[in-house]
Chains A and B, each alone.
Chain A
């Protein structure tokens, strides 16, 4: 379970202060696939990056499992992070390391022995269906394959939580679906909590059980995905649903007239 209480974060620039998170509260159930949706600038990226303290919150608390993340010192935080996997929009793989060594990196950091690393890397690579790419370098992979390596790397230390920071935003729709399906499969198989932030409704619709809508640094609505689509309460949620409806109709017309796909 993840419990976030009164989380605040502001960015100070030379002549003004930008509030990214404003006393935000959120509870995410264990084993859930939880979507956080918002327009750009709403603070969703800051929120997910505060969860493993890639960004330091100014105030408030974050509880993940039975660890108060916001109370940890540097060393404790490093240990806690091993149990919080994260994947990124830009994948952030190391170009100088093969797929094998990218996935092995978190295990090396955690101090595992060679044999244990080899076994675990093979295991997670199989989970993401990349066993045959062990010796490839990231530059030789497609976007989808890179994200699979990212997922394998995030899973290497058997985390309880997987944070996804716009993990599919750089991928084409087809690849997006295959990655989402993979995330779903992993969630089922390993029972880990998946938190994903996105601005794409397709992502919510496809795999999330619950959703929170973020606007101006606070959560304006939470609930099941069905409720979000069928009975959106907040303006932001309604705007999202409307935009996509509108877009769907337009796309349907365009594609119907064009290639017939």
Chain B
């Protein structure tokens, strides 16, 4: 172990967390919009619009079929346009958010679909609007499933930050490649892996804990 280790690790972790937090925030917002759109525009749902459903579904499938590393390259001009640069963690946030959003859209969709149609019908039966149904029935009822799905997504984004790191975004991924691999710094390689494992475990644990405490409140026994 050399004395630059901690400093490098800290810098890598800081950049990774920076990318992770902001990409997650944007990807979750985009994913919720996509997922909700998919569900409510579906045949028989509160805002049925099959054409919109098909288009959104097509775009999601299209973006998801591209390998992430290619997507980053494709999105470089977008990053340059949005944040003024195509290098570094901030530029990576653009690619990460857009790249992860379709995946999030799908898992939000599947979580929302767990809400039984009867609950939606009950809300309709007393005059709830589509807006009421989305924000007062669909999302709250699917909340534990949503939290678990979003945990999976945030962990997937953690992985993607490492991929982005490989092409110049910084963070732990780039640390492992630039020092651990290219400069034969085994100590850095191992330390990076340990930090990433701890990070992912913490995320999973937090997600589980949130989902569990929601369920505990809802399904507590007297």
Which A positions have Cβ atoms within 8 angstroms of B? 52, 54, 78-82, 84-86, 88, 90, 92-97, 105-106, 108-110, 136-137, 139-140, 150, 153-154, 156-157, 163
Which B residues lie within 8 Å of A52 (CB)? 125
Distance, CA A110 to CA B127, complexed state (A): 8
Residues of B within 8 A of A108 (CB): 136
Tell whether A96 pairs with B118 under 8 Å between CB atoms, given A85-B126, A109-B127. Answer: no
- Decide if B2 is an interface residue (CB 8 Å cutoff): no
Across the interface, which residues of B come within 8 angstroms of A80, CB to CB? 127
Closest A residue to B137 using CB positions: A94
Q: Please, which residues of chain B bring their CB within 8 A of the CB of A109?
A: 123, 126-129, 132, 136
| From B119, B125, B129, B217, contact of A94 by CB (8 A) | B119
Are the C-beta atoms of B222 and A88 separated by less than 8 Å?
A: no
**Option from B119, B132, B140, B220 in Cβ contact (under 8 Å) with A137:** B220
How far is the CB of B174 from the nearest CB of chain A, in Å?
Answer: 42
A92 near B126: Cβ-Cβ < 8 Å: no
Residue with the highest number of chain A CB atoms closer than 10 Å, among B116, B122, B214, B221: B122
Most buried by B among A92, A96, A109: A96
- Asked if B219 lies at the interface with its beta carbon under 8 angstroms from chain A, I say yes
Q: Say if the beta carbon of B124 comes within 8 Å of chain A.
A: yes
Q: B140 to A94, Cβ gap below 8 A? A: yes
B218 in the interface (beta carbon within 8 A): yes
Question: Which chain B positions have C-beta within 8 A of A86?
Answer: 122, 125-126
* B217 with A78: CB separation less than 8 A: no
Query: Top 3 A-B pairs ranked by shortest CB distance?
Result: A92-B122, A106-B126, A86-B125
User: What are the interface flags for B113-143 relative to A under an 8 Å C-beta threshold, 1 for contact and 0 otherwise?
Assistant: 0001011011111111100100011001101
A79 to B127, CA, bound (A): 6
Residues of A within 8 A of B129 (CB): 78, 109
Distance in angstroms from A143 CB to nearest chain B CB is 15
Q: Which residues of A contact B137 (CB under 8 A)?
A: 94
A82-B127 in contact given A95-B141, A105-B136, A139-B218 (Cβ < 8 Å) = yes
Mark B164-178 against chain A: 1 for CB-CB distance below 8 A, else 0: 000000000000000
Q: How far, in whole Å, are A93 and B126 apart by their CA atoms in the complex? A: 13
How far is the CB of A51 from the nearest CB of chain B, in Å?
10
B-chain residues with CB within 8 Å of residue A95 when the two chains form the complex: 141, 218-219
In the complex, which residue of chain A has the Cβ closest to the Cβ of B143?
A96
User: A-contacting residues of B (Cβ < 8 Å)?
Assistant: 116, 118-119, 121-129, 132, 136-137, 140-141, 143, 214, 217-222
Contacts of A88 in B (CB 8 A): 118, 121-122
Q: A109-B132, A140-B220 are in contact. Are A81 and B126 (CB under 8 A)?
A: yes
CB distance from B139 to the nearest CB of A (A): 9
Min distance, Cβ A243 to any Cβ of chain B, angstroms: 29
CB distance from B26 to the nearest CB of A (A): 26
The CA of A130 and the CA of B38, in the complex, are separated in Å by: 38
Smallest CB–CB gap between B215 and chain A, Å?
9
Cβ of B121 and Cβ of A78 under 8 Å apart?
no
B218–A90 touching, CB < 8 Å: no
The residue of chain B having its C-beta at the shortest distance from the C-beta of A107 within the complex is: B126
Apart from A93-B119, A110-B127, A154-B125, what are 15 other A-B pairs with CB-CB below 8 Å? A54-B124, A54-B125, A88-B121, A90-B116, A92-B121, A95-B141, A96-B141, A97-B140, A105-B123, A105-B136, A139-B219, A140-B221, A150-B122, A154-B126, A156-B126
A88 to B123, CA, bound (A): 12
Whether B220 contacts A84 by the Cβ 8 Å rule is: no
Contact sample, A vs B, 13 pairs, CB 8 Å cutoff? A82-B126, A84-B125, A85-B125, A90-B116, A93-B122, A96-B143, A105-B126, A106-B127, A137-B217, A139-B220, A153-B126, A154-B126, A156-B126
Question: Across the interface, do B127 and A92 meet the contact criterion of CB distance under 8 Å?
Answer: no
Q: A84 to B136, alpha carbons, bound, how many Å?
A: 20
**Residue of A90, A109, A137, A140 contacting most chain B CB atoms (<10 Å):** A109
A165 CA / B124 CA spacing, docked (Å): 15
A92 to B117, CA, bound (A): 9
* In the complex, residue of chain B having the shortest beta-carbon distance to the beta carbon of A86: B125
Contacts of A136 in B (CB 8 A): 222
Query: Which residues of chain A are within 8 angstroms of B220 by Cβ–Cβ distance?
Result: 137, 139-140
Question: Nearest chain-B residue to A154 (Cβ)?
Answer: B126
Closest A residue to B125 by beta carbon equals: A86
